[in-house]
Amino acid sequence: MHRMRFFSDNAAPVHPAVMAAMADANTLDTAYDGDGLSKRLDGRFSELFETEVRALWVPSGTAANCLALAALCPPYGGVVCHRDAHIQNDECGAPEFYTHGAKLMLGNGDGAKLTPTTIRSVIDAIANDVHRVQPHAVSITNATEYGRVYTPDEVAVIGDLARERKLGFHMDGARFANAVAFLGCSPADVTWRAGVEALSFGFVKTGGMNAEALIFFKRELADATLMRRKRAGLLLSKGRYLAAQLIAMLDDDLWLQTGRAANAGAQVLAAAAGDRLLHPVEANEVFLRVTAAEAAALRAKGFDFYDWAEGEARLVTSWDQQPAAIAPLAEAIAAL
Amino acid sequence: MHRMRFFSDNAAPVHPAVMAAMADANTLDTAYDGDGLSKRLDGRFSELFETEVRALWVPSGTAANCLALAALCPPYGGVVCHRDAHIQNDECGAPEFYTHGAKLMLGNGDGAKLTPTTIRSVIDAIANDVHRVQPHAVSITNATEYGRVYTPDEVAVIGDLARERKLGFHMDGARFANAVAFLGCSPADVTWRAGVEALSFGFVKTGGMNAEALIFFKRELADATLMRRKRAGLLLSKGRYLAAQLIAMLDDDLWLQTGRAANAGAQVLAAAAGDRLLHPVEANEVFLRVTAAEAAALRAKGFDFYDWAEGEARLVTSWDQQPAAIAPLAEAIAAL
Amino acid sequence: MHRMRFFSDNAAPVHPAVMAAMADANTLDTAYDGDGLSKRLDGRFSELFETEVRALWVPSGTAANCLALAALCPPYGGVVCHRDAHIQNDECGAPEFYTHGAKLMLGNGDGAKLTPTTIRSVIDAIANDVHRVQPHAVSITNATEYGRVYTPDEVAVIGDLARERKLGFHMDGARFANAVAFLGCSPADVTWRAGVEALSFGFVKTGGMNAEALIFFKRELADATLMRRKRAGLLLSKGRYLAAQLIAMLDDDLWLQTGRAANAGAQVLAAAAGDRLLHPVEANEVFLRVTAAEAAALRAKGFDFYDWAEGEARLVTSWDQQPAAIAPLAEAIAAL
Amino acid sequence: MHRMRFFSDNAAPVHPAVMAAMADANTLDTAYDGDGLSKRLDGRFSELFETEVRALWVPSGTAANCLALAALCPPYGGVVCHRDAHIQNDECGAPEFYTHGAKLMLGNGDGAKLTPTTIRSVIDAIANDVHRVQPHAVSITNATEYGRVYTPDEVAVIGDLARERKLGFHMDGARFANAVAFLGCSPADVTWRAGVEALSFGFVKTGGMNAEALIFFKRELADATLMRRKRAGLLLSKGRYLAAQLIAMLDDDLWLQTGRAANAGAQVLAAAAGDRLLHPVEANEVFLRVTAAEAAALRAKGFDFYDWAEGEARLVTSWDQQPAAIAPLAEAIAAL
């Protein structure tokens, strides 16, 4: 019995096409990001996004997020994010480290989604004087920490607010593949066309090994970020193996195929879960209402997952989990 | 014509055994550093060093160096290093970023080697009051930026001074393999037995892809460093592929074999260079006195290398360069 | 018509005894903190607190608070404080600046008072792993931002919790004088005897000009703080004028006399306010329920104060406001 | 016997006019920098400098310097300064703290004066790539740490270079009064007309108590600096007493009168010192060649001064030292 791990999409293996691309890159080339593969990134991502972008590889999503925040917010500023955001809860203060002490300003919203209303309620409460940290940016996660997806329209109204209030706008797309797979839109629609200036474009959860892309739609932010990337020890000396991963993922829209596969698995679980569902299932995460006894019963059958909170379980499906691998869990849930 | 790149050992490919180990790791496992491979690192490195150590993977040498410095030096302190040290010149201020603004205090010494005398001349000039940044650590590079190697005795006298002055002691071992290959000693002799508290143990230049090891002989420094590693975006979510690299390198002392191979290539060049040599060749770097015309002539023959300074060329040999790959360059140098 | 300002105790003048002491200090002396007055601080504050302490002058309460937090919490840690705390809302991110990015962890409690229960609810929700910032300290304000006072017993149960959880313990005593005046206890009872390790002891609001004291009951924290104070540009070159202020304030317990005077004024207002009071009045702040029209009416009579929130006014009494200065406002409130 | 202290101009008392102005300010007013006096600073300094400036009080010269550097240089950048600069040697890493880790890049020059040549030799050695910290600003001290003065022309050629290389330009004017007194020029000539963008204008050494001015000729830098000043705990709550000092100093050019007085004292010593002088005496510092025995002899007569280096003594004259106070030391030096 295998493929019974629903703990995290980070536990999944690397896609064979990515492994193959890394093997292909295993030749002599220039160090850092001077290699032929790294130099292709701007072009490849510009094609995907239908506009000129700057694209940098980084080895982790936290690095992508926090380099973006450092580009958008000064040390004495604040970043509005949802109170359940990954940057607030799961990065051990990396935003504060990279921004040199900017403050995260926590907003509300169902399913870890901010709205213009919840953002305004945060920033309008801040007197505009030197005693209060002033907001300089907004960061949203798409798909969110609860597997919810912002539509292009939902992003665009936040983008409008950001522009109006002169706030930078970042999207944490650790599960951007799952979001776009759900939306069926152009990647451009849910990002720069909706006002996003910087995107952490995740590839690791969707089949990569250790390469994420940091995309700047506001291209002038990239140059300083190159310095910050180096300064953070993130400019790996054999960067070509990271670039190779990203390019393999872009070829034939592999990132989107794998995103769809993971989403499909989650839908199977969602159908089985019925009214146990705590959130609509839009991406590859399923949050269930389960008693401790029920959780134990599922684990006894070999399924591993995360205890989100008391009475709540988080199940994450991965790109490599075939229907046959999902079915037993779906059945077990239905049988609870 | 191939293998004519002597620009950097970072340009070399990844060793096949490392690639194979990464492929073997391409199965389901726990995320971050909770996987089975990552958990073996403390043990494997403790065996190698003949003492209990804490060993953390990190994706770059800069990250290893700067996490070590942050563990050894407070924000208001200083780190004595050679004025030609990598941490001073080639990391875009990463030490200052990770330590939150500690000051590098620059010492002298032939071949980028500090000595107790040159260290004392730095620290004894600093009045012990609150107006001056006080030294808190020493960092040396072994092998150095000029391919010179500190012997265990040379390290030990620095270690004695460090202990006497209550300074932390870090070794940047980006080319530790080359140093140990030259010395023929136990890795323990040139590190903790000589007073080193933290070691950046490089594997990328010697055949790895993107995994270096940060070794704490002073083990109590590791716990806080785990937090700092996460906070810097360096705790990669699929860390098992980094651990796999390190373990493959430790197996059968592959790291040392590849270090020896690179060193052997450098010796071939050194023999050809004669009195053009600017520094004794002990590791895998060869510094030559060449005119601009001579440098151009070598490049015209297809050899690539780094212009170190006016009239000086740096040639770096790599683990994968067979004698047949070295010979043409040796001949070309001899023929200048 | 004068003395009608109830906006802030920072608007009050400097006590004549403090001005006189500064004039007396206007002679030749050693720079920085090498002067005779600065050297007396440890002794004078040790007497007051009935234990050996280290005492440093600093020019602002924010500086005192944040140097204390930097001493108690590493960059990768967190400080539990009330969500209405001054350090969270009124210092423009100074805690993050001084601690190099530590996170403030916000708790609840009536009157801006934390309790062991509300602290536990913050820290018990934090999984003990490297993904979450871990709590390293607790900071409380006494008197609080709502003019409430922690009793020695209330502090002590927090101190017990801090010790149990290995958390540093800081008290922001910007209005410590008002708190002690209310309590009538020994300063020791409400600080180190209750577990407080570092105290920001405010003197400016109670009659000083620009000198606050940072008191370390955990004395070993002082040496590093001396470096941090210098490094922050807070070691004023003519520090004797700050030391003079503190000593003048300690002489004859002037700080306590002025604290009592301010508190007495607040009681007059409280009596007049009746059920308009939003919080019990224990120190020198009075929070009133007022309509916009009522607030305007008070201002029309020449009284200035702070609009705290919609329908809420904050009135602060100062050390120099004699009953005759308070009476007109009391009457105006009663007449609303 | 009095007034025999030549250790530091920080040891001198506060000018009576400044004390009087502080006493006059001892009335009710708005807190922080909302008071009537603080609001006059922009205007008063604009008059003095014959152009529109932004002027902020700060309580120390280190604070002024480092806020200026933070405004001119990003965390990943570098500031070129003389290797004997105060910001490098005497501020305990405050530049690194305020800039979040920028690197000081050390240049040479007689008398602690940089020149375009020595600045170029620093910055031209830095390869323009992401591995090296790139220079973003130049900082010079006028009068220098050796009491030397840059002329308007000498500043202007540095200003030209700064503009050409897109470097910010800061002047540490801790002894600006002494420099202008020596030059006899308009303050404008040696600052903004010569390209200076930010000036730390010192008042404490020339008769103030604890107020320095940070002047932005490049006015758009001021707004962010207001946030940084607050965030550093430097926005004193009773700021009016600092503003009062500055205004008293500007009235009747008191700052310049006191600067001239101190300079005059130094000239008396210089005349006596003859060929013992290590540097031309232009401001209020005199560096003498003295043996240990000679130094001891001077001290035995009651004169206090600073041992600068072996065989070198630094004598600093202050605004309040009348000729009668200087004469005995001049005689003692002449008699050595």
E-state strands within chain A? 54-58, 77-82, 103-107, 134-141, 168-173, 198-201, 212-216, 285-289, 306-309, 312-316
Nearest CA to CA, how far is C45 from chain B (Å)? 22
State the residue for tokens 């995290």: A8
Are B325 and B4 spatial neighbours (Cβ–Cβ below 8 Å)? Answer: yes
Chain A interface with D: residues with Cβ < 8 Å: 32, 74-76, 100, 130-131, 134, 224, 226-231, 235
> From residue A266, how far is each of A8, A86, B30, D64, D71 by CA, in Å?
13, 21, 20, 58, 50
Q: Which residues of D179-209 are buried (b: 16+ CB within 10 A; e: fewer)?
A: bbbbbeeebbbbbbbbbbbbbbbbbbbbbbb
Q: Is residue B2 over pLDDT 80? A: no
Minimum-distance CB partner of A230 among B5, B61, B92: B92
Q: Which pair of structure tokens corresponds to residue B292?
A: 């601009």
Q: Is residue B38 over pLDDT 90? A: yes
Neighbours of D110 (CB within 10 A): 12
Q: Is residue B1 over pLDDT 60? A: no
Give A1's pLDDT tier (boundaries 50, 70, 90).
Answer: very low
Residues of C in contact with B100 (CB under 8 A): 75, 100
Per the prediction, chain C carries an average pLDDT of: 96
Residues of D in contact with C37 (CB under 8 A): none
Q: Which of C132, C230, C234, C235 to mutate to test the interface with B (most CBs of B within 10 A)?
A: C230
Q: Is residue D2 over pLDDT 70? A: no
Backbone torsions φ then ψ of C76, nearest 5 degrees: -95, 15
Which ranges of A221-291 does DSSP label H, i.e. alpha helix?
222-231, 240-250, 254-273
| Mean pLDDT, range C24-30, rounded to an integer | 90
> From residue D76, how far is each of A73, B100, B198, D130, D166 by CA, in Å?
15, 12, 25, 10, 15
Contact (CB<8Å) B230/C131: yes
Contact (CB<8Å) C26/D13: yes
CA B126 to chain CA centroid, nearest Å: 28
The helix (H) or strand (E) run that includes residue D137 is strand D134-141
Are D11 and D318 spatial neighbours (Cβ–Cβ below 8 Å)? Answer: yes
Helices D16-24, D240-250: axis angle to 10 degrees equals 140
Nearest CA to CA, how far is B140 from chain A (Å)? 18
Q: Is residue C67 over pLDDT 70? A: yes
Inter-chain CB pairs, C–D, below 8 Å: 152
* pLDDT tens track for D280-331: 999 999 999 999 999 999 999 999 999 999 999 999 999 999 888 899 999 9
Q: Is residue C276 over pLDDT 70? A: yes
Q: Can you give the pLDDT at residue C3?
A: 52
State the residue for tokens 């922080």: D32
* pLDDT tens track for D82-140: 999 999 999 999 999 999 999 999 999 999 999 999 999 999 999 999 999 999 999 99
Per mean pLDDT, which range of A288-297, A321-330, B72-81, B144-153 is the poorest? A321-330
- Residues in contact with D7: Cβ distance below 8 Å, sequence separation at least 6, in sequence order: C30, C31, D304, D305, D306, D316
Minimum-distance CB partner of A93 among C89, C93, C133: C133
Which residue has better confidence, C141 or C324?
C141
Count Cβ atoms within 10 A of the Cβ of residue C277 and give its class: 0-12 exposed, 13-18 middle, 19 or more buried. Answer: middle
Per the prediction, chain D carries an average pLDDT of: 96
Residues of D in contact with A74 (CB under 8 A): 224
Contact (CB<8Å) A131/C96: no
Contact (CB<8Å) C233/D63: yes
* pLDDT tens track for C242-271: 999 999 999 999 999 999 999 999 999 999
> From residue C117, how far is each of C125, D18, D171 by CA, in Å?
12, 52, 53
Compute chain A's Rg from CA coordinates. Answer: 20
- Residues in contact with D228: Cβ distance below 8 Å, sequence separation at least 6, in sequence order: A76, D67, D70, D71, D98
3-state secondary structure D221-240: HHHHHHHHHHHCCCCCCECH
Query: What is the rounded CA–CA span in Å between residue A307 and residue A330?
Result: 18
Query: What is the rounded CA–CA span in Å between residue C109 and residue C139?
Result: 13
Contact (CB<8Å) B235/A62: yes
State the residue for tokens 């055949």: B207
Contact (CB<8Å) C134/B227: yes
Q: Which pair of structure tokens corresponds to residue D81?
A: 């300064």
Query: What is the rounded CA–CA span in Å between residue A242 and residue A58?
Result: 8
Q: Can you give the pLDDT at residue C38?
A: 97
Give C144's pLDDT tier (boundaries 50, 70, 90).
Answer: very high
Helices A41-49, A240-250: axis angle to 10 degrees equals 30
Give C18's pLDDT tier (boundaries 50, 70, 90).
Answer: very high
Q: Can you give the pLDDT at residue C1?
A: 39
| Mean pLDDT, range B242-269, rounded to an integer | 98
Query: What is the rounded CA–CA span in Å between residue D278 and residue B63?
Result: 46
Write the single-letter amino acid at B154.
E
Nearest CA to CA, how far is B178 from chain D (Å)? 23
Q: Which pair of structure tokens corresponds to residue A234?
A: 């993130």
Max alpha carbon distance in chain B (Å)? 61
Q: Is residue C171 over pLDDT 50? A: yes
Q: Can you give the pLDDT at residue A325?
A: 85
State the residue for tokens 């008693």: A291
Question: Which chains does chain A touch, 3 or more C-beta pairs < 8 A?
Answer: B, C, D
- Residues in contact with A328: Cβ distance below 8 Å, sequence separation at least 6, in sequence order: A4, A301, A303
CA proximity to D138, closest of D112, D109, D116: D116
Q: Which pair of structure tokens corresponds to residue B128?
A: 């012990």
Read out DSSP for B58-111? ES-HHHHHHHHHHHHS-TTEEEEEETT-HHHHSSTTHHHHHHTS-EEEEE--GG
Query: What is the rounded CA–CA span in Å between residue B12 and residue B317?
Result: 9
Q: Is residue C137 over pLDDT 90? A: yes
- Taking the CA atoms of residue C89, residue C91, residue C96 and residue C100 in that order, the dihedral angle to the nearest 10 degrees is -170
CA proximity to D100, closest of D79, D124, D131, D129: D79
| Mean pLDDT, range C299-307, rounded to an integer | 93
* pLDDT tens track for B290-302: 999 999 999 999 9
Contact (CB<8Å) A241/B60: no
Neighbours of D61 (CB within 10 A): 28
Q: Hey, which residues does D105 pair with through a beta bridge?
A: D80
Query: What is the rounded CA–CA span in Å between residue D233 and residue D222?
Result: 17
Residues of A in contact with C70 (CB under 8 A): none
| Mean pLDDT, range A140-154, rounded to an integer | 98
Q: Which pair of structure tokens corresponds to residue C110?
A: 């009536």
* pLDDT tens track for D134-168: 999 999 999 999 999 999 999 999 999 999 999 99
Q: Can you give the pLDDT at residue D57?
A: 98
Q: Can you give the pLDDT at residue B152?
A: 98
Query: What is the rounded CA–CA span in Å between residue B320 and residue A296?
Result: 52
| Mean pLDDT, range A251-262, rounded to an integer | 98
